[in-house]
Structure 1
Amino acid sequence: MRAAIPSHDVFEATPNPYLLLAADSPTFTIIGVNEAYLRATMTEREAITGRSLFEVFPDDPATPKAFGERNLRASLDRAIQTGLPDRMAVQHYNIRGPDGVFVERHWRPLSVPVTGPGGEVLSLIHYVEDVTSDVVGTRDTQTALTASDARYRAIVESSTDYAMVAMDLSGTITTWNTGAEHVLGWRAEEMVGRPSETFFTEEDRTAGIPAQEMRAALEQGRGIDERWHLRKDGSRFWANGELMPLKDEAGAVIGFLKILRDRTSQREVERALAEQTDILRSVTDHVSEAVFRLDPDGTILLANPPAGRLFGWPADELVGRNLHETLHHHREDGTAFPAEECIFVRALREGTSIVAEETVFFRQDGTPVPVTCTNAPLLRDGEVVGAVVTVTDLTARKRAAEQQDILNHELSHRLKNTLAIVQSIATQTLRGVTERHLVEAFERRVLALSRAHDVLVQKSWAAARMRSVMESVLAMQADLDRFALDGPDLDISPQAALSLSLLLHEMATNALKYGSLSAGAGKVRISWRTETDPSPTLVLDWAETDGPPVVPPSTRGGFGSKLIRMGLLGTRVAALDYAPVGLRAEFRAPLAEVLVH
């Protein structure tokens, strides 16, 4: 599967000049431009972006018949009105050089409308091909034909990138230059005397395209030739060119000159750009997030339909507005939010990425919207050229979290009531038991379960922080400063949290009765780690110090001792070492059963 090419990269990488224009006739504001266009028009991005196309490129006052602006404006209006691409014939449209002097230029323009989901035209992709060299070359060629056939042949033969084919009025080839051999594959001796339709495709020959081109050249002065053509080996290539009449010294038409250039690779880039533009539009139109394309000043160049729906604006009306001033102008408490204090404005200027886990944007009617927001800078040659900002509505998520909190607190209340009932029943049932320490041990175990439950409720019974479980249970037995906890604060499963709370409760109870916590200076160090060999395992170590001399138990003990021997999660992997300096214990459990998945 081919990796998708980012449409912005395609736009910048294409060797053909492109402009992105707002559909705001009659102004036609320039909102995007690629490097090829800047080179072709000798302009700077900062000098033309945001200005009217015709303010930047006025007609040459020194040209008597300068109709470039009028013709181009009409073409752009047609594209907006019809919603279809509008291609123009070659236009003589001089441009101003850096020194202010107009330079001769001839262009072949194409304007393609970019439409929204409702078919409305949002902007225009304006493509121009600089054909000045073609026009001047053709003009020079015709001059050379009139002045001297020898000069004509020298000019024609010197061009290798252009196929130049001369033919008589019937379309029979009379001249075939080196460029034609290079582009089309036939040698001159193979083609002179043959009909020019030889290198047209079968479908174009059937449709009478060669004759239509000659008729257009006679009636309009040129016939546009932009279509598939055939090489000698049968392969096809996309050609761009013209057919022009050849005249003798008296001005009578004596034949035609066809100039062709292989534009296959450029066409593929254009098709890739169009495809990626369609894909990008489809993706951004159907995601739930609001997506904005900004220039370096924070002006919105593109806003997807979800952005309009989320903030109550028509998406096209957001274009041209400053994002911060339009949607992020106040803080949640209603105080003004200056742009210079906004981390997103700063990140945009510095070209850095940033994520705001929760902030507030505002709808057009002033309603605050809780959102999470990300900024992805766009860089070109190390220079910040803008950013893509994605905004996600948190309203539903916050409402669900609030409802979950209510349910958790209700569940906690009911479960605590249940535990209290259990404890009350047990107390009544065991009232006659003379061994009160057994009753008290049972009550403390119920309390340990209750503390573990409190920790689990904080994370909706989905997980618990290991250190929080430990601290809540150990705090019932002694001051926490008598325990040293050392290990990664893991998210553990509810089953692991309950098992850990009971295990630590029994260990701490024994330490208070017989171990280090029974002495004033005694302490307990609890450390834990994960191991991978031979399998992922959680290892929990218990080490007592500064207590009375350790005496191993003479019997296997009661229920508490049984809980300890069962270990974590009932694995029964528990190693107890009754060393004289203090009890040491190691417990192991499969990591997969301990952690939350």
Structure 2
Amino acid sequence: MTQEKPGFTESERSEAIRSFDILDTPPEAEFDDLARIAAEVCGTPIALVSLVDVERQFFKAELGLGVRETPIATSFCAHALLVDDILVIPDATKDSRFDGNPLVYEDPKVRFYAGALLKTREGVPIGTMCVLDHKPRELDENQLRTLRLLARQAMTQLELRRSLAATQQALREAKELETRHRQIVDSAVDFGIITLDLDGRVTSWSVGAEEILGWSEAEMIGRPADVFFTEDDQVARVPDQEMQAAQERGRGSDERWHKRRDGSQFWASGEMMPLRDDDANHLGYVKILRDRTLQHQAEAQRLELTREMSHRMKNSFAMVQSIVGQSLRTASSVAEARDSIGTRIEALARAQDILTQTSGTHAAIGEVVRDALAPYRTGEGRFDVNGPELELTAQQVVGLSLALHELATNAVKHGALSEPGGCVDITWQHTEDNGFVFDWREHGGPAVTPPTRTGFGTRLIERIVGPYFDGKATLGFEPEGVTFRLVGMVGQSVDSRGEGAG
């Protein structure tokens, strides 16, 4: 059996893998959950998130194999790197590439393998999301699609992990650079250099101090330095404590809010040191400060972003686990469960794509609706969509996307979209005090009969979506067509454009 010549070199692959700094790292729950989901969906005893290095393959996540790495000579995943998308080996004993392979003919006696590629943004394959079995078998299209989606999620986790590490490294380097240059203040206007006498009164005031604080040197000479400290710090005698620290320990450092001449406040990084003459006599103090408001705000934003990323990842995995578990419990057959799981995870992935392409924390409702309905549009104008542009939170994006997926899927199978003349009207309004009303109304389809049992899709729509909007979702089964109303809260309106029919 021949294989395509790869469009990359092993040195390029090795460099790409090492850019993620992932080899030989301990297990992480985010990747372990992906392996567990892959095994459950594909019905295999073994699932791996595999990184294929030059001489070995390392398993970032491993379920059912019992080892963290294997030699490249016996690797199935090394062969997967030579295909464009996914490699499926129904029976390894009938494939000449694995003649004499100890993984096939000795424990664990692997017979079946399916691996979806993990590719960098540049298209370089670095590993696979794979499942293995001890007996020959095949995967259906839903299982293959889910394996691809899980591979994509694994790459998203790797990218997020690398981005966070790069951000932390950049902050460390910036802080080290700031420390090295803190005392290099030779005529730099972004540093305030102030000298004080032993009583804490200003004796000199640099151009940088005037730029940062707003007072001129003429205004400040002879005045106490505590004038640019906040009222709370003045009451707490912070200026005196800084001078005492400088005298006793040689340095008094502080990072705190300070006050400008116009009354505004800024975050300053400063140090106070004793000022001595050539004979080491104590003459007073020198205070050096710098406006670090932007850096302080950036650090606060970084911490908020880190918390948001962690929260989103946990919510995503919890949603995937809920989808898998509920779909398996409510499906009437294995085939129905696989189809439901695959399409629901795909809807979740589309919602995450919208967030990834925007700020990561918010997205426009028009884009969410368009993307959720895209698989169901036929170009016949069966959707009439109208409403102002609003920003939704990350949780609201996921909740509304999943609700629209369930509604559209039901409409295609049983509702208005199952007949040529059927249509769906979708509208939303932004009311006072950030109130929000969203309506889905079907018409022109077959007469609707209320269901005799409540499935997972109905529970998802009525019980899960509403709380994301701090409101309530109601599903109606009117004879002329299914209705859905969501009443809750959203953010501010962006503009007043409607989408129109589609």
Question: TM-score normalised by the shorter chain: which range applies?
Answer: 0.3 to 0.5
Select the structure with the greater relative contact order (CA < 8 A; seq sep ≥ 6). 2
- Alignment TM-score, normalising by the size of structure 1: 0.29
- Considering only CA atoms, is the larger Rg found in Structure 1 or Structure 2? 1
